[in-house]
Amino acid sequence: MSTDNARAAAEDSLEDYAFRYVPRTFRRWSAASVGATALGSIAFLADFSIGASIGIDHGTPNAVLGILFASVIILIVGVPVAYYAARYNLDLDLIARGSGFGYYGSIITTVIFAGFTCIFFALEGAIMAQGLRLATGMPLWAGYLISTVVVIPIVIYGMRALERLQFWTTPLWLALALLPLLWIVVSDPQAVRAFTSFTGNSDGSISFGAVVSSAAVCFALTPQLAEQIDYLRAMPPRTPSNARSWWTSFAFAGPGWVVFSGTKQVIGVFLAVYLLVRVDPGLGHQATEPVKQFVEMYRTLIPDWLAIVLALVLIVVAQVKINVTNAYSGSLAWSNVFTRVAKHYPGRTIFVLFNLVIAYSLMMMDVFTLISFVLSLYANVVMAWLVTIATDIAINKWLLRISPRFPEFRRGMLHDWNPVGLVSVGLASVLSLLAFAGFLGAAVKPFSVLIAIGVAFVATPVTALVTRGRYYLRRYSDGIASPRFDEHGNPSGERLRCHVTGYTFERPDMLASAERGPRGEVQYVSSLALTLDDSDRYVLPPDVARPARRAATRGRGR
């Protein structure tokens, strides 16, 4: 490993911590500020389109029940994962490493998430391009290009730039999206009655299959939790003085994001019904386009030219708010994967551009018109992945105490591969995709995503029990005498010098080095330096004996 490469990576990653614990020195925001910033990222308009699509396919009752069902499951899955991110200041990849996947095994989950950021960037970019075409006549390919490049300057500057953007644009977005809607609901009771009785392409009856099919599309939004986590990991230490604010911000910006998302999906159903029943029954698929939805809603209140202008402003603001997050989180994911595989960090900017090229290609392939199919397909793998991690935390860590309580992420402490997560995700994904493709029978096909959830929930603890948890930890001590947690159970803020990079890092990010100092003293090495090391010269040997389970799994962080 080049020492210069490690130093360059340390300097360049100060704003993103792509494969690192987020230290206290960076986490200078209050819990409320982090929560508000995280909530700003859920301004995406794809929710409206998703709700409209399933509403037209299955009718209002089935669509609303499907949205509610998906939201409850996503909330349950999100609680343990988001808690670990906020409490221990780690992104989802770092959590996955010690929650069933191993140091290299988590690469699989990170690629799944990176794919999500590309797909949703493309969907949001397509919506913006539709708005530009309506307002200016601009061809779609040019709109795709503008929606792609406009986010680059903000994303490159990382968390500080994102915090400012989300803070200043959220009030504008809320006003433009909600005030006209409230006016229609209050002033047009017939629109509300049409919404509640809308049957869409269904026969009007409530069907469990239709509810699950509606929920399957919504489940594809679950990786938004990982984007929320990219903000939540910057939460300040939880202390008695800020506990109420900390928990409130965690609840709303962490697992609670799905409450806002589900509400927007229901609004999407309402807007589609409003367009088809009260405006133009011949709109067909256009009723799922947020551009059309908001323009027609505004036209009932203001002149046409102003309706188009306001709709365009709303769409641009929403697209920029979410797509800076998609590009930011995607670049972190891709850089994380590349650095671990290649042992080289070329800089996050390259991966910002890489993520955007993929997203632009998806736009050119017109992924928006296939939104229901693409999201239903993707949901099978997504739920297999996230249910596995949530189950490992909730059951294997807390109930069975097989998995280490603290989410270990450092190379040298973990095995490269852990069959617990790999077996669970692989088995759940394969079975659910077979069902989705119809190979398990037509009667089973609508329930493919439930198969993914159920298999992942069962396979995760079963595999851990069968393997007796042997593949979680390679070592049970990192060789450092000082504690990893402070008196409140937060990761310690003690700083230690990495003898490889020359920089100081906080205690949770450090290990004792296998290379002793000139006088035989213990030296410390950062997880970043170990990530870039291809020689294993700094990695301590594995522990020979495993301590008692209680000692191995106990941590002061609670």
Output the CA torsion 397→402→408→409 (10° steps): -110
Helix, strand, coil percent content, the chain, rounded in steps of 5? 65, 5, 30
Q: Any idea what DSSP says for residue 411?
A: B
Residue 13 confidence (pLDDT) above 50: no
Residue 344 confidence (pLDDT) above 80: no
Task: Give the pLDDT mean for 120-144.
Answer: 86
How far lies 494's CA from each of 10, 54, 502, 508, in Å? 18, 51, 16, 9
Task: Count CB neighbours of 187 within 10 A.
Answer: 10
pLDDT tens figures, 357-385: 998 898 898 877 777 777 788 889 989 99
What is the pLDDT, as a whole number, of residue 545? 55
pLDDT interval class at 46 (50, 70, 90): confident
Which DSSP string corresponds to 480-537? --S-SB-TTSPBP--EEEBTTT--EEEGGGEEE-SS--TTS---EEEHHHHHH-SS-T
pLDDT tens figures, 197-250: 898 888 878 898 899 999 988 888 888 888 788 889 989 999 999 999 999 999
What is the pLDDT, as a whole number, of residue 97? 93
18 against 218, higher pLDDT: 218
pLDDT tens figures, 289-324: 888 888 888 888 888 888 888 888 888 877 777 777
pLDDT tens figures, 151-167: 776 666 555 555 566 66
pLDDT tens figures, 470-518: 999 999 999 999 999 999 999 999 999 999 888 899 999 999 999 998 8
Residues 128, 284, 219, CA angle at the centre, nearest 5°? 65
Residue 326 confidence (pLDDT) above 50: yes
Give dist(CA 335, CA 344) in Å, integer. Answer: 10
pTM for the whole structure:
0.86
Q: List the domain boundaries for the chain.
A: 475-542
Task: Report the amino acid identity of residue 252.
Answer: F
